[in-house]
A and B are shown apart, each in its own frame.
Chain A
Amino acid sequence: MNLSQLHSGETGTISALVGDPEIRARMQSIGLRVGREIAVIRRSRFGGPLQVRIGTTDLLIRPQQAMQVILA
């Protein structure tokens, strides 16, 4: 299961980040860390980005990158 599969309002726990190491490092430093709970607040239409929330931080992430966030 990965982040892009969550509907808005659903939550999951990040279990791994996969893909390009540079992008992974980027995701990590902006707050997408293994073990954190992540919630999808809303999804935009036409395959646009997701608004997600980790703790008090809200982020925009595109579905392609959301697929690299694996949930437990």
Chain B
Amino acid sequence: MKRIALLGMPNTGKSTLFNRLTGSSARVGNWPGVTVDLLMAKVLLGVDMVEIVDLPGIYNLHGFSEDERVARTFLEENPVDLLLVIANSTQLDRQLALILQLQALELPMVVALNMDDEARRLGIQVDTALLTRELKVPVLSISAKQGFGMGRMRQLLTDTLAQVGTAKSADLNRVFGDDDALEARLDQVFRSAVQMPLTATDRLTDRIDRVLLHPWFGLPLFFAAMLALFEAVYTLGAPLQEGVAWLLQTIKTEAVEAAVAEWHPMLQSFLLDGIFDGVGTVVSFLPIIVLFFLFMAIVEDSGYLSRAAFLMDAFMARLGLDGRAFVMQLMGFGCNVPALMGTRVMRSRGLRLLTMLIIPFSLCSARLQVFVFFISAVFDPWAAPLVLFSLYIMSFAAAFLTALLYRGRLANQDPLLLELPPYRFPTLPQMWLRGWREVAHFLREASGFILLGVVLVWALTHYPADVAPAGPETLAGQLAALFAPIFAPLGIDHLMTIALLFGFVAKEVVLGAMAVIYGAGEGELAGIVAGSTDWVQAYAFMLFVLIYTPCLSTVAVLKQESKSWRFTALAVAWPLALAWLLSFTFYQTARWLGF
């Protein structure tokens, strides 16, 4: 099968084009370094199946960050039939350099000048016919986001593939860095083929930046926007979640209970109290997850992330980090795993490890479910969004404290050089794609280890069968008693201890486990929890959930990316210790103050 590799500078729209060509749902974002790993998909071009590979962006062929290494190694070790090189039409003055360098590889090449829509708006004119002649490769203007030129793109790829010889891997030693000859050629090609207006700046972006990057109001605006966002997720999401919970409860009482009424009581309990309540409780949070990721999609595609790096860099530098580390923390609000992978753009190992050490404190969407549940069960509606916001603040505080403590041992020498892309807004299909990605991911987890966790909890709380479920004589009860000396000082009771232990696997399991432990669906669970927990206990519990190890996937990625067991051990042990300390301090202080 023939193979096409997508190559280009970061943030030029490679993944957007990849999605267009293959119908995949690769992650897209207005931030250089969204794709940090290989992605492949097969697609029918003409009459042949062709494999298309989306690669991380590269600035040149000599970069040494981990994501650039992925692209380089792929080119060196895998034969490709055609390079599809993508450049941002509005920035050809610098992006042509990469195209010229890649020509030294002597591989068949097609050049796509992306973001034609933006070039037109800025009044930039590119003579593609002249470029084709100058570069001696086919050049096509497209807009991957709007879908302009996709038919011609497919046709061009099909035609070019029909003519290529045998596939070759690349010999990167042929490619030299920047030199005067390249510089001169770049200037000559650019001048002849590109017409720039006198001022080609994005006025709207400049105007927005004057407000959002204001020396005094920039940061307060950022935090205000964050508060507004969480408030919106909470106020819109909580009723939706209750709706789904109610629906599941109705299905259970109206249909499922009747269907299994004749079965063995143990089997009934397993199906109803175990699987249905456990998994159902987790699934009821799906609307909140979707809503949250729609907001995340807007934030990530807006280009604001780079601005956040600008605003926070001076502060982060004092913690031994840089603005990009802050951006990774924000990305971690969605899910810690891609944020950890995102640190591949950092070239200093110290900086990378320090950033990976603080990302797991980011309050990810799985933890958000636990918090939304507890907050709406225990706190007054008016206080709820503020309580949630306070947990986000705690998430930052734990991360910054950790960086402060470890910055000496993990030193940073990486210079910060970051692109500031113009503001953009995702199209509806892009948002839909993102929402769907997250739903698919969530359902995969729910049917995988969340189901497994719930089954395990059910088994532990129902064995031996002749005692009260989840009572002290059950396996779960004995396990909880074992851990009581650790969790009792935090105000966390036996039953919640079990949920916490299983939360080590993944935070989604916490609520599923609680549903099983209390033998109640989501609908009744809130009432039960409100009856057995006061707000001090609830907050201490949430603090612990916030800070201790997020999930096994995170641990696996920490190991994979750091390639060090020692670091992984530290990244698990330290948050556990910190979680206990903070939760203990909060609980005991609150009690001492008489709450």
Contact = CB atoms under 8 A, between A and B. Distances in A.
Interface of A: 22-23, 25-31, 33-36, 41-42, 44-49, 51, 53-62, 64-65
A38 to B, nearest CB: 12
A65 B317 CA distance: 14
A57 B417 CA distance: 12
B419 A57 contact: yes
A62 B313 contact: yes
A44 B315 CA distance: 11
B94 A30 contact: yes
Contacts of A42: 209, 213, 215
B98 A56 contact: no
Interface string B394-423: 000000000000000000000111111100
B415 A26 contact: yes
Given A25-B177, A29-B178, A64-B415, A55 B420 contact: no
15 contacts: A26-B59, A28-B178, A30-B59, A31-B91, A31-B94, A44-B213, A48-B317, A49-B418, A53-B201, A55-B93, A56-B93, A56-B122, A56-B201, A57-B91, A61-B417
B415 A60 contact: no
B143 interface: no
Contact of B314 (A46, A54, A55): A46
B323 interface: yes
A49 B310 contact: yes
Contacts of A60: 306, 309-310, 313, 323, 416-420
B94 A48 contact: no
Contacts of B94: 29-31, 33, 54-55, 57
A22 B381 CA distance: 55
A45 B177 CA distance: 35
Given A26-B63, A42-B215, A49-B314, 16 more contacts: A25-B60, A27-B417, A30-B94, A30-B419, A45-B314, A48-B310, A51-B213, A55-B93, A56-B90, A56-B122, A56-B124, A58-B420, A59-B417, A59-B420, A65-B416, A65-B417
B248 interface: no
A55 B191 CA distance: 13
Interface in B422-471: none
Contacts of A46: 314-315
Contact of A48 (B98, B314, B418): B314
A56 B200 contact: yes
Contacts of B209: 41-42, 51
B311 interface: yes
B310 A29 contact: no
B447 to A, nearest CB: 43
A26 B531 CA distance: 60
A51 B310 contact: yes
Interface in B34-73: 59-60, 62-64
Contacts of A35: 183
B97 interface: yes
Contacts of B310: 44, 48-49, 51, 60
Nearest to B309: A60
Interface residues of B, number: 38
A64 B313 CA distance: 13
Nearest to B65: A26
A36 to B, nearest CB: 8
Nearest to A57: B91
Nearest to B101: A29
B424 to A, nearest CB: 14
Nearest to A53: B201
Nearest to A42: B213
Contacts of A59: 417-420
B85 to A, nearest CB: 15
Contacts of B306: 60
A58 B94 CA distance: 12
Contacts of A29: 59-60, 63, 94, 97-98, 178
Contacts of B418: 49, 59-60
A41 B307 CA distance: 13
Nearest to B206: A41
A30 B90 CA distance: 14
A30 to B, nearest CB: 6
A49 B97 contact: no
A17 B94 CA distance: 16
Contacts of A34: 183
A54 to B, nearest CB: 7
A63 to B, nearest CB: 10
A51 B420 contact: yes
B316 to A, nearest CB: 9
Interface in B522-581: none
A47 B90 contact: no
A36 B64 CA distance: 25
A49 B188 CA distance: 33
A29 B209 CA distance: 25
A36 B313 CA distance: 26
Question: Closest 7 A-B residue pairs measured CB to CB?
Answer: A48-B314, A31-B94, A58-B420, A29-B59, A46-B314, A29-B60, A60-B418
Nearest to A20: B415
A23 B236 CA distance: 47
A57 B4 CA distance: 28
B309 to A, nearest CB: 7
A31 to B, nearest CB: 4
A42 to B, nearest CB: 6
Nearest to A52: B420
A59 B415 CA distance: 13
Interface string B175-205: 0011000010000000000001000110000
Interface string B306-346: 10011101110100000100000000000000000000000
